[in-house]
Structure 1
């Protein structure tokens, strides 16, 4: 149970069963990295991908995965918690409509980490995944937990899904900006269908389990009882009020991080029989992926009686905010037998893969007066940056795009609400579209409080709704920096921007043929393990302009009879390319144009009424 050696890779958990395709998906996260989110569609297209970053570097592979799946996904994240990416990609534009920033009215934060995924096979069979985890949509190397529940349709209603349905319907209500209709349809369809989807628990757990979503209404109650004989708490963040709730529990165990534990009083810590932190030496023992993990981010609670166990897995930290409905949080409550899934199984000292092998007993550390002063000043500076950021988020920033000259545009960032009175001494801030170089395109943020800022001479490919912000403050030799990205509402985005991006990625007829081969293949995995597939397939075609290799013509004819949806996908690609008047004729080989006319004519006559 939860053995470190059985870690599940984030992307692996998203993959569909064999022969199933993604219909739609809803993700929730506190924070997200754009590069990580860019890799998510790969899970639904390249099933045996071993190195997401390597595949992302091949922009044609990534383009295919994102074009197939981006419109099927909607991701909700806390307003102002998109991270500034260390890398740039033309494909970030496909993420803009996918990302919905939200802000709970409770005054807390949006903190759930979940996925609800719907898949369908060619026989029309439906398969669901509900994933509840402690990991945000990031490439963090921290220790996390993940729970995957598989679901299938049943004839009778499933009342235990009521909380899940309520949560799904709640998400659009806290959106900061308008949500695209396609994404709202995903929410609506999911909430209707979930009423008859039966989810199954993992092995060794009872069939009865509960979905918990805190902070979505006033009916939430504290889910963890104090009537257990033993209790294990795993959480990186702690506070006194939470830890003191369980005085009736005779044996209590706690796993956390050094900094959090040092802030808890000795009187509270004495109530716990054993307290552990991650052992940094144990993490560095070998060179495998498990050893390179660092930091604790898991949130797990195990309550144990004589024969039974109740386990909660999800996003809630062991704090007042995590369980008081101040934050929006997600947990799943599982039940099982103590001998199978109890605390002893989790902390089994005789097992090589036990979590206990990566822990050491906690010992309090203290700061000297100078260190305390430095820490307090850092906190004060961070608080001032956070206050500045909160006020910036409140003014409702928007974007307007206008043509400036041939193929160049200006991006106007302006506030919906001006706040010329707001001022914070000592804070310097800049912003810039994430598609532009920071050093040569940054503009001071203070201008936004009174009017607008304008980025001039922006190429079509660099137009984006994603704007990066950087705040800096320095006092008494101590510096603090805060970076984040906002996905701003846009007026005037040229329709042909994405068409131009496709053209830029394909580059020429070689790229076009390579992309066709990806669209036509019956097994995408062959590309992932044969780096020479392009040359071996093309058979030297790369030096033959405007000619189409014979095998591709045969594959088009085969797809027409066996899998006509592939023909429709190719038609959509050609349609997108044709909308862009700048597309050079030589990107599509003349021989392809001739055979395509016949292929498309047959398709329309046989499948023209298909949607």
Structure 2
């Protein structure tokens, strides 16, 4: 089941099936790296030559699909980028920070809906991976499904998943607009009637959202680990009489004695625990000394790199060894052999009491034949992942530096969950710059120093006073494209010598008209970028290689020499496309800028005239059926 050689990027798993396009995507993550989030729209746009390193391609993909993507993340865990690109502003509509009353928002799922002329397909990804650039070893389960008529047997009950998706907007610190609320709730209502294909070797599966009030049936492993006194185990007993199988295996970067104890019932023969060396050292000595339990630690250094090449060494056949580029353990999985079956949990929850009793998490609970999925087979599949026998004895105290870092993280989460209200007012002397005011009633604890700034500008930073009264910070002469609801809060603990930052999603109450269009215009600062954007934007999302569109068409259109012949062809094709009503209005800022830069070019004049005719025809309802 855990094939170390079967490794794919998350973006590969997000791609639509052939012939389909994205209808809606909902993702969740604990930590969000904003630069990584820019790559998500590219996953949904096929065959157009898009590359993450090409900002014009990223811009085109964002404009195409950002209204159909919603990403929910833990407030206080949006990573502040070292270099804030203008493109980050285009994430604003699709990124939603959330805060929960108890514990952390920690699920890592994607629910995807694809469409093709009324036909719908669905995909669900349940993983341990955050939306970051982290190179840790993670696990993912993929389910594909199709809708079934109401009342028809659809296999796994999608009700828990549907309810989880429907509840996400209510956790946001800034309420999404009405259109997004309706789309998320619509997706939730449709997914309830989806028949899911089970993974290979799995013949029973259940969706297990935790921390949202979902009730689980008796006999669920998740329910028993969460509340062993009131939910029966696999042997239909509770408490001290409960039994989850003789052989068990746990993979978790974080763990505690309480959860290990619940897994290691008195009938256990072998409990295999795969974790991190620093976390295993924090277990109690009696936990580590138990003879029925064996511990393995992930080698954080992975496979040593070559001193000459800077890359991992190759094996004798010249093939790069599996797991060479892994730099840490982030996977979470649980396996229990009971009778002739193996019961598995995969998802976001660490082997800690908080993971199963406090946090918002998401797991899949599955059952398969032991001869295909058993603990010993899983152990064999892990041989290529860099684990080593744990040689410690436990009983160590958590380092003070870690404790200080946790205090800073808690303070950042508390701050990010508060309301930060922004207003942008045009400056008197210029209509091109604004005065941005930030109002809030959060203040740092006396032991911390706090600074606040706009994400779009590295300076200036405003000092946040340790006062419980409302505070106001003013930023002057801000260009229109740099007005943003995103703030960067930096907290410093002078005594510990530590500093941490997070991006906070504020509420921009007075959003200047044309702000996002100005950002687009600033990116397209020469005719070649403008032509490239137009060609990518007009290429159908589901274009396939060899179809006359996409990458091959891009290369053969005279594009590099500045020709607009390919653009005429693309525009004519887009006129008859299903998205004409939305595509052409979105192009107005681009076309106006193209005309301003190259208005004396006859081809540009012809292109602008064609675009004008298309928009006029659309306004009159005459274009469909061309």
Cα RMSD of the aligned pairs, angstroms, is 3.2
- Write 1 or 2 for the structure with the bigger share of helix: 1
What stretches of structure 1 of length at least 5 have no aligned partner?
543-547
- How much has 1:559 moved relative to structure 2? 4.7
CA–CA distance in 1 between the matches of 2:282 and 2:252? 14
- Aligned to 1:309, which of 313, 326, 342? 342
Structure 2 portions without partners, runs of 5+? 217-221, 226-232, 234-242, 305-311, 315-319
Kindly report which structure 2 residues correspond to 1:331-410, keeping only aligned pairs within 5 A, or say none. Answer: 331-348=363-380, 354-355=382-383, 358-364=386-392, 376-386=399-409, 388-393=411-416, 395-404=418-427, 405-406=429-430, 407-410=432-435
User: Which residue of structure 2 aligns with residue 545 of structure 1?
Assistant: none
Counterpart CA distance in 2 for 1:308 and 1:48 is 46
CA distance in structure 1 between the partners assigned to 2:351 and 2:387 by the alignment:
19
- Of the three residues 119, 122, 128, the one matched with 2:122 is 128
Q: Which of 93, 100, 105 is the matching residue for 1:104?
A: 100
The reply on whether 1:256 has 2:288 as its aligned counterpart is: no
- Aligned 1:422-571 pairs, distance under 5 A: 423-425=445-447, 427-437=448-458, 440-446=459-465, 450=469, 451-475=471-495, 478-521=496-539, 523=543, 537-538=557-558, 541-542=561-562, 549-560=564-575, 563-565=576-578, 567-568=580-581, 570-571=583-584
Per-residue deviation at 1:12?
0.9
User: 2:393 and 2:455 mapped to 1: Cα distance?
Assistant: 41
Cα pair distance change 1:229/1:69, threshold 3 Å: same
Alpha-carbon distance change, 83 to 497 in structure 1, aligned in 2, over 3 angstroms: same
Counterpart CA distance in 2 for 1:423 and 1:198 is 51
> Matched residues in 2 for 1:357 and 1:108: separation?
31
1:318 equivalent among 348, 351, 354: 351
Distance 2:53 2:451 in 1: 29
**Equivalent of residue 87 in structure 1, options 83, 86, 95:** 83
From the superposition, tell whether residues 192 and 501 of structure 1 become closer, same or farther in structure 2 (CA, over 3 Å). same
Please name the residue that 2:360 is paired with. 328
Report the Cα distance in structure 2 between the residues aligned to 1:367 and 1:15, rounded to whole angstroms. Answer: 46
Alpha-carbon separation, structure 1, partners of 2:405 and 2:571? 59
Q: Is the aligned partner of 1:180 residue 2:180?
A: no
Question: Out of 300, 309, 313, which is 1:286 matched to?
Answer: 313
SS of the aligned residue for 1:347 comes to helix
Alignment match, 2:163: 166
2:426 alignment partner, SS class: strand
Judging changes above 3 Å, is the alpha-carbon distance between structure 1 residues 457 and 447 closer, same or farther for their aligned structure 2 residues?
A: farther
1:414 aligns with 2:439: yes
TM-superposed CA distance for 1:95, in Å, is 0.9
The answer to whether the Cα contact below 8 Å between 1:234 and 1:256 also exists between their aligned partners in 2 is: yes
Asked whether the equivalents of residues 556 and 567 of structure 1 are also in contact (C-alpha less than 8 Å), the reply is no
> What residue is the counterpart of 2:145 in the other structure?
151
How far did 1:149 drift? 0.5
1:540-560 deviation digits (Å, cap 9, x = unpaired): 753xxxxx6344334444554
Change in CA separation of 1:56 and 1:410 when aligned onto 2, cut-off 3 Å: farther
Query: Which residue pairs with 1:572 in the alignment?
Result: 585
Change (3 A) 1:401 1:355: farther
More displaced stretch, 550-559 vs 482-491: 550-559
Query: Does the CA contact (< 8 Å) of 1:3 and 1:355 recur in 2?
Result: no
Q: Map of 1:19-58 to 2, 5 A cutoff? A: 19-46=19-46, 55-58=51-54
User: How many residues are aligned here?
Assistant: 577
Which residue in 2 is equivalent to 1:189? Answer: 186
Contact 1:29 1:136 in 2 (8 A): yes
Equivalents in 1 of 2:566, 2:210: separation in Å?
A: 56
Distance in 2 between residues matched to 1:452 and 1:558, nearest whole Å: 51
Structure 1: distance between partners of 2:399 and 2:271: 31
**What residue number does 1:222 align with?**
223
Give the TM-score normalised by structure 2.
0.84
The alpha-carbon distance between structure 1 residues 550 and 448, as it changes in their structure 2 partners (threshold 3 A), is farther
TM-score by length of 1: 0.86
Q: CA deviation at 1:489?
A: 0.6
Question: Is the contact between residue 465 and residue 489 of structure 1 (CA under 8 Å) also seen in structure 2?
Answer: yes
* Alpha-carbon contact 2:452-2:487 (below 8 Å) kept: yes
Q: Secondary structure at the match of 1:23?
A: strand
